[in-house]
Amino acid sequence: MALRREAHPGVTPVLIFRRRTLADREDLLGKVMLAPALFYVIVLVAMPLVLAILLSFSASFAGSLDFHWIGLRNFGAIIRDPQFLLALRNTVLFTVISQALVMVLAVTAAHVLDAAFVGKRVVRFLLLLPWAVPVSLAAMAWTWIFDSTFSVINWTLKAAGLLQGWLYWFGDPTLAMIAIITVHVWRMFPFATVIVLAGMSSIPQDIREAAVVDGASFWRRLFQINLPLLLPIVTVSVLFGVVFTSTDLGVVWLLTRGGPYNSTHVLSTLAFQRGILGANLGQGASIAVFLLPFLMLAAVGMLRVARRAEVGS
Amino acid sequence: MADQSDGKWVRVSEGRWRRVSRRDFLKLTAGAAGVAAAAGNFGSLLTSFVRAQQRELRIMTWSHFVPAYDEWFDPYAQRWGQAKGIRTTVDHVSFADIVPRANAEVAAQSGHDVYFFLSPPSAFEQQVLDLADINREAERRYGPMVPLVRKSIYNVNTRKFFAFSDNWVPDPGDYLKSAWTTAGFPNGPSSWEELLVGGRRIKERSREIQIPIGIGYSQDIDSNMATHAIMWSFGSSEQDANENVTLNSEETVRAVEFGATLFRDAMNPAVLSWNAASNNQALNARQTAYILNSISAYRTAQDNRLPVADDINFVGALRGPRARWACEHVMGCWVIWRFSRNPDNAKAFLLDLVDNYREATINSKLYNFPSFMGSVAEKKVPLADKPEEGRKWVRAAVTNDPFGSTPRNKLAILRDAEEWSTNVGHPGPANPAMGEIFDTFVIPDMFAKAATGQLTPQRAVAETDRRVKEIFTKWRRLGLVGGGGRDR
């Protein structure tokens, strides 16, 4: 029971007793309301992650529930495996090139959408479509666009007389990687654009107007006003993109399944092939969690930048 | 006062507003959640009660490449369930999702009672029931199963039937008669050498065909079968009959050299990226003149009334320097999980399915071949004669295709398919090591690397040999694969 003092104008305050409930206990209420989210994170994120880490130290295979601890043997095996090293290199390349392209396109698109023009809403809607389309559906369309035999790009270029020979998009490792990066950038840049656009709207209008009045050119405004002020939010976007891209399975698997001859595997697809299709769960898990320490560092960086941006605002 | 000042005005209906305090809100949501939870619990309690009283069978199978089969199978399963008083559910999964889905069921120790695989599921041996009883019962009723089927479902090391097979599918060569006539082989190629010679001629004489020979060297199931067929025909294999690793051999190098020559002279890099549908699409679009596949590409052309259907013809396994083998295209394997709640129903269903296999073969448009040849014989035929009578029935059906082939004997080459077809793992059994090699596309990668000049044939074989030995070592350690004493 809690003691409450109720004060009414013109009335002598009286002491009344009321039952103190959960709603009155701010400290406990916060924890209770946070609990469902925490439960969700523990059950659906933390537990699978811990399980994957444990599996990476085991000789487990798909058709068994046995757990044989083998220490770091899986990691030793994959580090000696040229296919793993290629997948690691592809993951880094895929992530760096994709993110660089995404940010260039996102900043460009955000500047275009920041301007006033007829049909701006329609353009915004169209721009967001790739983000909203399910990855499997998009990948099916792109698979046909880049098909080695029936590629619409090839047929169009041929018809226009711009292509001699033939581009085997998924049959050549370099072209296949270009196709993968193209689809991933197409998919990711709308989200980055929205983030940058939100950041641009937070730049005080008077600073922009002052720059215009002072006669600053577009490039000067871009590099000396907009980008420095956008830096915190762009960094958050990049770090999000890095984590998302380096762990992405869908685009690579749906487009090339790691081919031709296992040359376009990234870590997640190689982990799937070895762990699930090949039944080698332990090794698959070790490939999947290999980047975890690096991604955790990236995540810590992301949170710090986000915090700095929050404090700055 | 504090409570009241915290309240928010909430619109409850047109023109009606109510002040809701935080306390009220918590009470309301807690109450609603309680009611919902109670309703949910009651519902699931009721469902469990009802379920416990029902006899049930949950079947997981693939989406068949010949859709007509599913149109027959699903109602058949329902009718079977009704006749037995068993509630039957049939779920379908695409062929690419069969293994991932099976892994999920094993991890959850829950799912379907009976589960269908397209290739021998030897890696799942520890999670499935020994089906020796129904395999023996089927042999008692219909005579011996086809030998390549036995090697695909029985582990000699653990002496366990880890699966039950109702069907297998031959993998003939599908060719365009017009193109091969122009190339001087009106009846198609009969050997790998003729395939190479004919492919070169088609490249010269039929320039509208992008890929004269459409054999995949990619990460897909058809590429696996094609590259294994080349190896076996050149006298090479990953293992011998006793599961010793034998890949590192002169025969393998010669097979890979041949594969590289075939790629350079009669194929193009498109085949490095093919999926399971690519060769069908290329053949039906007349973009390739030869593929290794089942008859499903042809049936698709027929179903879609494509003019190319009449031009598609078939040849059996191609002769190589040492042998004449083709890999089975599909090895239909049913397993019953250890965690199945209705294993007896599942076993009864599988035996009854085989009992109706003439109907199944017809409804697959002759795609499915029976694993027990005797099961398609007339019922009144004595047991001793059933296998041979069943074979006669299959031969008669493919010689006089009832599904609109022109000429009607177009599929006649399948009469002796049993003689030139073999299992994954040939000349040994389809063990888990072979399953992993097959499912991670180790052999097509070896051919692709040599074909594109990434590695010399010798180095491609040496690299693949290391990988194969690693895989065998791992499975031997688990006691599921034998051999090892005479690894090469």
Lowest mean pLDDT among A135-144, B109-118, B403-412, B439-448: A135-144
User: Which of A55, A142, A261, A272 would you mutate first to test chain B, the one with the most B CBs within 10 A?
Assistant: A261
Sign of CA dihedral B256, B261, B263, B267: negative
Task: State the average pLDDT for chain A.
Answer: 87
Q: What are the structure tokens assigned to B437, written together?
A: 């090699």
Asked if A260 lies within 8 A of B211 by C-beta distance, the reply is no
Asked if the model's pLDDT at residue B31 lies above 70, the reply is no
Q: Considering only alpha carbons, which residue of chain B is nearest residue A282?
A: B474
pLDDT at A30 over 80: yes
Residue B188 has pLDDT above 70, yes or no: yes
Ranking A139-153, B22-36, B283-297 by mean pLDDT, the lowest is: B22-36
Is the minimum CB–CB distance between A277 and chain B shorter than 8 Å? Answer: yes
pLDDT in tens, B356-386: 999 999 999 999 999 999 999 999 999 999 9
C-alpha torsion angle, residues B294, B296, B298, B299 (rounded to 10):
140
B8/chain A closest Cα distance in angstroms? 15
Q: Please give the pLDDT value at position B48.
A: 44
H runs (alpha helix) in chain A: 26-41, 47-56, 73-79, 82-114, 120-132, 135-145, 152-159, 173-201, 205-213, 218-221, 227-246, 250-255, 267-272, 281-289, 292-312
- Which residue in A82, A261, A274 is closest to B440 by CB distance? A274
- In total, the C-beta contacts within 8 angstroms joining chain A to chain B are 118
ipTM of the complex: 0.79
**CA of A181, closest CA in chain B: separation in Å?**
17
pLDDT at B36: 47
Amino acid at B59: I
DSSP conformation letters of B443-481: HHHHHHHHHTTSS-HHHHHHHHHHHHHHHHHHHHHTTS-
Residue of A32, A83, A148, A274 to mutate for B, most B C-beta atoms under 10 A: A148
Give the pLDDT band (50/70/90) at residue B13.
very low
pLDDT at A14: 55
Give pLDDT, residue B346: 97
Determine contact, residues A149/B278, Cβ cutoff 8 Å. yes
Cβ contact, residue pair B272, A261, below 8 Å = yes
| Closest Cβ opposite residue A260 in set B273, B440, B478 | B273
Query: Across the interface, do A257 and B275 touch by the CB < 8 Å criterion?
Result: yes
Question: Does the pLDDT of residue A296 top 90, yes or no?
Answer: no
A273/B contact by beta carbon, under 8 A: yes
Quickly tell me which residue has 């949170």 as its tokens. A303
Ramachandran area for residue B408 (φ above 0: left; ψ -120 to 50: alpha; else beta):
alpha
B42 band by pLDDT with thresholds 50, 70 and 90: very low
Taking the C-alpha atoms of residue B179 and residue B188, their distance in angstroms, rounded to an integer, is: 9
Q: Hey, of B94, B97, B272, B469, which one would you mutate to test binding to chain A, going by the most A CBs within 10 A of its CB?
A: B272
The CA distance from A246 to A254, in Å, is 16
Question: Model pTM?
Answer: 0.84
Residues of B in contact with A82 (CB under 8 A): 463
Measured between alpha carbons, how far is B388 from B12 in angstroms, rounded to an integer? 79
Q: State pLDDT tens for residues B228-258.
A: 999 999 999 999 999 999 999 999 999 999 9
Q: Give just the sign of the alpha carbon dihedral A264, A270, A272, A276.
A: positive
- pLDDT of residue A13 exceeding 60, the answer is no
What is the pLDDT at residue A126? 87
Q: What is the pLDDT at residue A226? A: 87
Residue A120: how many other CB atoms lie within 10 Å: 13
CB atoms A64 and B127 under 8 Å: yes
pLDDT at residue B392 is higher than 70:
yes
- DSSP string of B170-235, one letter each residue: ---EEEEHHHHHHTT-TT--SBHHHHHHHHHHHHHH-TT-SBSSB---SSSHHHHHHHHHHHHHTT
